[in-house]
């Protein structure tokens, strides 16, 4: 790290809620926030945002005639970005940078437009501009009335943490001293669920915990899709109002052997975690928020990478996907939020079906992981302010 970077605010929307208070309260309960939805005539588990949050999003949609044609992925980003900069006390004249990504982008809107095209053999007027991935950051910039740089991207499920890397790079370069980064995803459509089922990774469990992320003994894939967004405000240096500091970052990409492959010991994670640790003794890492999507190979390969990096003294491990599902491109900053909340409250949030006889006495350094199809891993080291 060239300099410490402070996280001065985080805002999220997920099945846990749409405020920091709701989210932390939900994390402390040993229950998941998945619900059953009828898809193709069969019950399927998904993680939807709660009804009060849906009402807020609908109110946002109706608040501006231009917003009526936007996908939920964009509205989630606008909603959480508003909250984040308010919490950080930023104003539009700061001209902060914006980098928000999404793995899928305007999923439902694209599917609706395509269905209309197949019926009428004619595309609707706003089809192209409203389904372009760049919509996310550009509409957030419009809503916040800022004139700083704006970037949208898709790097599959590590998208949000790659946005964080970009924010760090801009700040370290001196080209900006503040950056709003994050990810947003609204993938709960029948077609997207069908794609995950075709990969044979979607959960068929009907037991107490449909998603068994971090259960290394499971024999069946148990990924569940979730929707949500999380935005993080980054500022240069040590700020007095920081929630946590970014003290390390790492990234790596594996050579593809298959469209969705990752090596059995996740060499990309080994490289990204070692890079994030820098000169820090691995023993000083108190916990790791794993990517752990709930698949047999995905969870186990990440764990083997952790064993390679940390040896016999493995930090306490956790994940949030058993609670909120896999939110694709938004998952990285939702992981960051969990880590920051644990640092703030000095309380480790574990996984109820994973046997842990103890919890860390202190939480000073937490490593956060994310990886996407193709083995593009990112690791972020957070430290207590």
Give the whole-angstrom CA distance, residue 326 versus residue 203: 11
For the chain, report the end-to-end CA distance as a whole number of angstroms.
16
Residue with tokens 């370069």: 173
Which is nearest to 149 in space by CA: 161, 137, 139, 135? 137
Is 289's pLDDT higher than 70?
yes
C-alpha Rg value of the chain to the nearest Å: 20
pTM above 0.95, yes or no: yes
Is 260's pLDDT higher than 70?
no
- SS3 (DSSP) at 188: coil
Give the whole-angstrom CA distance, residue 320 versus residue 326: 9
Average pLDDT across the chain, whole number: 94
What would the pLDDT profile of 320-348 be if each residue is shown by its tens digit?
A: 999 999 999 999 999 999 999 999 999 99
Is 288's pLDDT higher than 90?
yes
In order of their start, the domains of the chain are 5-384 (3.40.47.10)
Is 258's pLDDT higher than 60?
no
């Amino acid at each position: 790290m060239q300099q410490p970077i402070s996280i001065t605010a985080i805002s999220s929307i997920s099945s846990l809620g749409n405020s920091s208070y709701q989210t932390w309260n939900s994390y402390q309960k040993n229950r998941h926030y998945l619900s059953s939805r009828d898809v193709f005539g069969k019950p399927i588990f998904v993680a939807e945002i709660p009804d009060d949050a849906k009402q807020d999003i609908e109110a946002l949609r109706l608040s501006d005639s231009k917003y009526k044609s936007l996908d939920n992925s964009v509205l989630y980003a606008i909603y959480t970005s508003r909250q984040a900069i308010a919490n950080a006390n930023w104003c539009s004249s700061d001209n902060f940078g914006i980098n928000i990504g999404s793995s899928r982008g305007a999923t439902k809107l694209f599917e609706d437009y395509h269905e209309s095209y197949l019926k009428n053999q004619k595309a609707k007027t706003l089809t192209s501009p409203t389904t372009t991935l760049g919509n996310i950051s550009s509409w957030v910039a419009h809503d916040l009335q800022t004139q700083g740089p704006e970037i949208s991207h898709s790097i599959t499920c590590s998208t949000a943490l790659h946005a964080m890397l970009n924010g760090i790079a801009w700040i370290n370069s001196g080209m900006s001293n503040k950056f709003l980064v994050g990810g947003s995803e609204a993938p709960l459509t029948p077609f997207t669920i069908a794609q995950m089922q075709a990969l044979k990774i979607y959960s068929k469990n009907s037991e107490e915990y449909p998603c068994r992320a971090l259960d290394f003994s499971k024999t069946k894939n148990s990924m569940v899709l979730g929707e949500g967004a999380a935005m993080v405000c980054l500022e240069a240096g040590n700020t007095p109002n920081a929630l946590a500091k970014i003290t390390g970052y790492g990234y790596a990409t594996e050579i593809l052997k298959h469209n969705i492959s990752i090596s059995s010991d996740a060499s990309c994670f080994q490289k990204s975690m070692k890079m994030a640790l820098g000169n820090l003794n691995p023993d000083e890492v108190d916990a790791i928020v794993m990517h752990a999507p709930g698949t047999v190979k995905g969870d186990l390969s990440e764990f083997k990478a952790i064993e390679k990096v940390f040896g016999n003294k493995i930090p306490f491990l956790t994940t949030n996907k058993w609670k909120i599902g896999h939110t694709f491109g938004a998952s990285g900053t939702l992981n960051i939020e969990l880590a920051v909340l644990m640092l703030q409250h000095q309380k480790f949030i574990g996984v109820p079906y994973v046997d842990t006889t103890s919890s860390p006495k202190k939480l000073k350094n937490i490593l956060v992981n994310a990886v996407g199809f193709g083995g593009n891993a990112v690791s972020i080291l957070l430290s207590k302010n």
